[in-house]
Each structure stands twice: as structure tokens, then as C-alpha cells.
Structure 1
Amino acid sequence: MPTRIEQLSRAKPNLLKFPDRRSVYWLDELPTRSKNTTTAFELTPRLEQLAQSKESSHFIEESRRSPEWMVSAAALKACPSERVCSLALPRMPADGWQPERPLLATLSVAVKNAKPSSRICQLAQPKRAKTLLTYCSVDSSAHAISVPITPSSRIRQLASPKQVHAQHSLARPVSWPVPDHVLKAVASERLQKMARPKTRQALFEGYDPYQVTHAARAATASPRLLELSLPLPRKCKGQ
């Protein structure tokens, strides 16, 4: 095994003899480019064999020429086995199988002269949907209700439409005449003062949002406000 000094004393391989090889090292001179734009590959005999198109069978070519072909002597003298003969037999139907009835089957005299009963005629009638407007069907006159049904006073009370409230006022029209006293009305100084928006200084101008006014300090809550401010009795713990 060579020593470390002998391994370092060996000359580095010349990478310029492989022009197509990409290298991450800095080269003094760029390698000469080959004239061929792509790399030429050499095919092995096996790859050339696989690249060839598949040849059609000789038997297929002869069968395509004519619908008749020669049968070999071995096929003419062949004898099928018992298994092949059993498989060649048609499959027998299952036990209890009956062939389909013909469309135009002959009917017996008893069937032709048979008369349906009233129950069969009733079952043969199509089903009729029940309607909410009538108590019975039009055709079923035999089962019609003879006793008239009279609704109770409670049902009549519930069936009557709801009356409009006495103080109900209809929707005001979009355009309506304005009276003269409204047109000539002059707002007082108090109304003009209340109509002006409330002026407030900004935070950078010295406004204190936590300052309480003197009116709020001297205000007294009414008994109703004191009642509403109390917590609910069910939420109070027993002392």
C-alpha cells in the first residue's frame, strides 16, 4: 500500500482529454467543443435485435391469403380424450327448469269463460289519491257521508282572519304635502345648539377620555336604575 507521500507525489489526471465531461474545477483553457451536437451511442447486438419490428407468424400470413388452409396429417388422425368429449357436450339445464311461455299461448275454455268476483273488480281499480277539499271520492257514492259536519265555535274563531289593530296606521306615502306652518317654522337657539355636533379635542391636543364631568359626579340614580343594576337573585350566592 503506497504511503501518503507517494500518493501525493503522483501527477493529477489530465481532465482535458474528456471534453464532454463537465467539471467544477477552474481550467486554464476551455476544452474544444466537438462538431457533434449530441453524444454518439454504440448499440449492442441485443439492443439492435430488440429494436427490430416483430415479424408476423407464417401461419397468420397464410391464413390471411385464403380462408382455406391445409390440415396436417396428425390433426386428421387425432382422437379426442374423454375429458375433451365431456367438455364438448352442451350444458344441461338445471333441475326444475321450465322453458319460457310463448307469447300467444292457447287459453283453456274455463279461463275464457271465467267471471271475476266483486272483490277482484274492486282490487283491479286504480288507487285514488285522497283530496283535502272533498270528504269522499266522486265515484264512491255508496260510501258518501250523509251526516253533515258542523265546525265548532272554536274552529270558526280560529278560521276568522286576524283584525287590524285600532291604532294601526297605514304606510306613509313617499311624497306627501308639507303644511305651511312647518315650512315657515324657525328653529330656536336651543335647537340650533343641539343640532351642532359635539366638538372634542384629539388625544394629542390634551383630550383625556377618562375624565368625568361634574354633572356625572353629582348625578343620582333613580330607584329603577338601582333595581336594574342589582344582580339577579338566582345568580346571587346565599350568605
Structure 2
Amino acid sequence: MAATTQGRRLDVLARPKPIPSGMIEDRRSVYWVDKVPPQPKGGTTVFVLTPRQDQLAQTKNVNSNFKGDLLTPIWRVNKAAMSTEASPRVQALAEHKTVHREHKMERSVYTRVTPGARGGEASERLDAMAKPKRCGTYGQITDGDHFFQLWQLPIPVPGPAKYASCTPRVEALAEAKDFNPQYHGARTIQWPVTDPAKKALATLRVQQLARPKSRGGNDDYDPYRVSGAAKLARATPRVLELCEPIPRKIRQKKVFVKE
């Protein structure tokens, strides 16, 4: 019976949606196909403008006092301009800006050594500092030796350094940091089970929850079958209210009626 009802329901859902009686189908083209559009007399479309539009379409007139650019950058100088004399203010403004009194010109790349520096003699201290550092153990660095090869040579430890003892503060700072008293290390993957855990008994409630659901051997259980009570169930008014669409989003479908 359920299969027959389901088959009828599928037949109803498979039917196409009916078209409303007042619906008008959209035109397939923006041009009318049932008749030829009218043509103008002259063959082309003539635009008709209002007087205001015609006035705005005119080009802007040039000012009567406008003078165009000079034909050449060279023009004749009149005699008055040739014989005129500048005022004291113009002459003061025409003078170039003076250099600051503390300004010094850029120094040349090549420094000129003074005669005093050429004949100068270094002091004994400068001679001592200018000498290369002598390493008795390493020996002298020749041109063929590499500086980094000297790191492979043994470095002698002086006698006082062998018998030196550090201070109590240095020993305290050298000690490793202890772990927190409440720190627990990572638990191993395998750990022994305690005797109380082996002898523990589950409570009656735990046993009831651990027991699988019992079904008879002849019980034809179908997990996809909908019960009769679920088919006849009705939603509460509150559920129906929540299922309704929002009023501000409801829009009625427009139906055009052919006159």
C-alpha cells in the first residue's frame, strides 16, 4: 500500500507546472516581426532640437580682447624699452644671492698632503702599535697560509687558568633549571594497569547502557521505513509560524491579463 501511495505521489510531482491563463509570452526580439517598422521620408532619422538645446550646442565665442600667441619668440623692442633705466629696487632684486660667510667649497677627492705631514716622524707608541701581532704558538702568517687554518692549531691553556675556581654565584648560575614540582612528564604509550582497575565491577546502570538493543530473530527491521505515527504527525502552531517566510520578503507574482 505504501509503494502504491508513493508511486502516485511521484506521478503528481512529475507533472509539468501549469501556465497561468493570463500569462503573455515575452517577445523573442526587440523588433516587431509582424509588420515592417515605419521609415522616415528622407531615409534617415532627423533629430529635432529645442531652441535651448540648439543654443547649448553652439561653440563658445572667443573673447573680443583675446590675443593669440606670438608668431615667433623674437619680437621688436621699442625705443623706450631700449633707453629705460632700472630702479634701485629692481637692481637690488637683480643681484645674485651671496654665499654664506661660513660656506666652504667641496673638498677635492685627492687630498693634498702638506709638507709638514710629509716630513713628520711617528712616535715610539705609534711604531709599537703599527707592528703586527706576534703569536708565538701560531707562528707568522705567510702569504700562502689562510687565516682560517690557524683555528686548527692547539691553543695552550695558561697555568693560572688550569687551577682557577669559580665563585659561588657563577656555580649557582651554571646549575640547570629544575622542573616545576607539579610537572608531569609525557605518559608512555604502554603502562601497567593497576590491580583495582582489573578487579573493578561496573554498576548496574553502566551494564544497562552497555547492553545492545535486543531484536527478535524474525524481526524484519528496516531503518528507512517511516512509522505510521510519523506520517500522521502535525506540526505545532509555533513550528508553523517559524516556517512561514518573512513578510517583507514576500512578493506576489505578476500576472498579465490579455485584454
Q: TM-score, normalised by structure 2?
A: 0.32
Q: Which has the higher contact order (CA 8 A, sep 6+)?
A: 2
Q: TM-score, normalised by structure 1?
A: 0.34
